[in-house]
């Protein structure tokens, strides 16, 4: 059985050219399912339906690969899923048919490219972190307090003359940021600070 699938990006686009191409490929009009979805994260209920009703020995027919997958990786995952289930995939405009050796080879090439893309992303991330470390920076958020400010904050906190909020205000940070830099053993272990007198402010 041939099952046709198509997708248009917005409700304003007309899928008739995809439908015509699928019919010419031998798909019955009643077996053609069209999604109207834009963006990689948009839901595709018709594709979900196609994947649900397809059985071993069936072939899903599309006009172009970008009509099926949200990304190369997603496309490869769908291709592997269909292959495991014994379902074929035919792409009319790109001459891909997984029922043939050439078609399976094309999917193999796409798989290699997807893996290469992933490895390049990982490598670039590592290079970026290494370059940052070489310049004295570490990955993640930069500390909002300097070592001198942390020492001052701890001293003011231990003296008990200022509240945590007052110390945070002095240093120009949020109270949560202040607590994140204080010695954890000292937090909550000091007497409650009284409001500072006018002479101490």
Mind listing the pLDDT tens digit for each residue in 16-36?
A: 999 999 999 999 999 999 998
Q: Is 124 among the domain residues?
A: no
pTM over 0.85: no
In a 3-state reduction of DSSP, which class is residue 174? coil
- The domain that holds 14 is classified in CATH as 3.40.50.1390
Which of 113, 129, 164 is a domain's end point?
Answer: 113
Strands, DSSP E only, in 71-191?
88-91, 96-97
Same domain, 90 and 176: no
Q: Which of 9, 43, 71, 186 is catalytic?
A: 9
Q: Is 48 among the domain residues?
A: yes
Q: Is 139 among the domain residues?
A: no
Are 91 and 67 a contacting pair, CB within 8 Å?
no
Taking the C-alpha atoms of residue 193 and residue 140, their distance in angstroms, rounded to an integer, is 34
The percentage of the chain sitting over the pLDDT mark of 70, rounded to a whole number, equals: 73
Phi, psi of 116 (to 5 degrees): -60, -40
What is the pLDDT, as a whole number, of residue 111? 59
Same domain, 93 and 176: no
170 burial via Cβ count (<10 Å: 0-12, 13-18, 19+)? middle
What is the pLDDT, as a whole number, of residue 201? 44
What is the pLDDT, as a whole number, of residue 196? 47
pLDDT tens figures, 54-77:
999 999 999 988 788 767 777 778
Which of 113, 133, 156 is a domain's end point?
Answer: 113
Q: Is 67 among the domain residues?
A: yes
User: How far is Cα of residue 133 from the mean position of the Cα atoms in its chain?
Assistant: 26
- Domain carrying residue 154: 147-187
pLDDT tens figures, 119-170:
777 777 776 666 766 766 555 555 577 888 888 888 888 888 888 888 888 8
Q: Which of 51-55, 164-168, 180-184 has the largest mean confidence?
A: 51-55
For the chain, the average pLDDT equals: 79
Q: Is 198 among the domain residues?
A: no
Q: Is 134 among the domain residues?
A: no
Query: Does residue 111 have an active-site annotation?
Result: no
Mean pLDDT of 172-200: 68
């Amino acid at each position: 059985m041939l099952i046709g699938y198509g997708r248009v990006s917005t409700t304003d686009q007309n899928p008739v050219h995809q439908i015509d191409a699928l019919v010419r490929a031998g798909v019955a009009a009643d077996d053609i399912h069209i999604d109207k979805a834009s963006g990689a994260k948009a839901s595709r209920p018709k594709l979900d339906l196609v994947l649900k009703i397809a059985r071993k020995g069936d072939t899903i027919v599309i006009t172009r690969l970008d009509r099926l997958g949200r990304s190369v990786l997603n496309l490869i995952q769908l291709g592997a899923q269909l292959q495991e289930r014994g379902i074929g995939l035919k792409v009319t405009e790109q001459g891909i048919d997984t029922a043939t050796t050439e078609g399976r080879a094309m999917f193999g090439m796409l798989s290699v490219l997807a893996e290469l893309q992933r490895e390049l992303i990982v490598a670039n991330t590592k290079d970026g972190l290494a370059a940052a470390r070489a310049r004295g920076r570490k990955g993640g958020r930069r500390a909002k307090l300097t070592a001198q400010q942390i020492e001052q904050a701890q001293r003011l906190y231990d003296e008990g003359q200022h509240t945590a909020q007052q110390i945070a205000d002095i240093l120009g940070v949020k109270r949560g940021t202040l607590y994140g830099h204080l010695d954890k053993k000292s937090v909550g272990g000091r007497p409650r600070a009284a409001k500072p007198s006018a002479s101490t402010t």
